[in-house]
Amino acid sequence: MAPDSFAYTAVFRPNTAMTATPSTMLALGTRLPAFRLPDLDGRLVSGDDVRDAPALLIAFICHHCPFVRHLRHEFARMTREYQARGLAVIAINSNDIEAFPEDGPEGMRQEARDAGYTFPYLFDESQDVAKAFRAACTPDLFLFDAARSLVYRGQFDGSRPRNTVVISGNDLRAACDAVLDGRPAPAAQTPSIGCNIKWKPGNEPNDSAPATQQR
Q: What is the pLDDT along the chain (215 residues), one digit of tens a residue?
A: 333 332 333 333 344 445 799 999 999 999 999 999 999 999 999 999 999 999 999 999 999 999 999 999 999 999 999 999 999 999 999 999 999 999 999 999 999 999 999 999 999 999 999 999 999 999 999 999 999 999 999 999 999 999 999 999 999 999 999 999 999 999 999 999 999 999 999 999 986 555 454 44
Half-sphere exposure of 15 (CA within 13 A, CB side): 0
Contact 59, 152 (CB under 8 A): no
Beta-strand pair 140-144/55-60: antiparallel
Distance CA 31, CA 111 (A): 29
Q: For residues 72 and 4, give the distance between their C-alpha atoms in angstroms, rounded to a whole number.
A: 9
Whether the Cβ atoms of residue 200 and residue 127 lie closer than 8 Å to each other: yes
Q: How far apart are CA 156 and CA 60, in angstroms?
A: 12
Supply the CATH classification number for the domain 2-214.
3.40.30.10
- At residue 94's C-alpha, the angle toward residues 91 and 99, to 5°, is 135
- Going from the C-alpha of 12 to that of each of 4, 102, 156, 182, the distances in angstroms are 12, 17, 22, 42
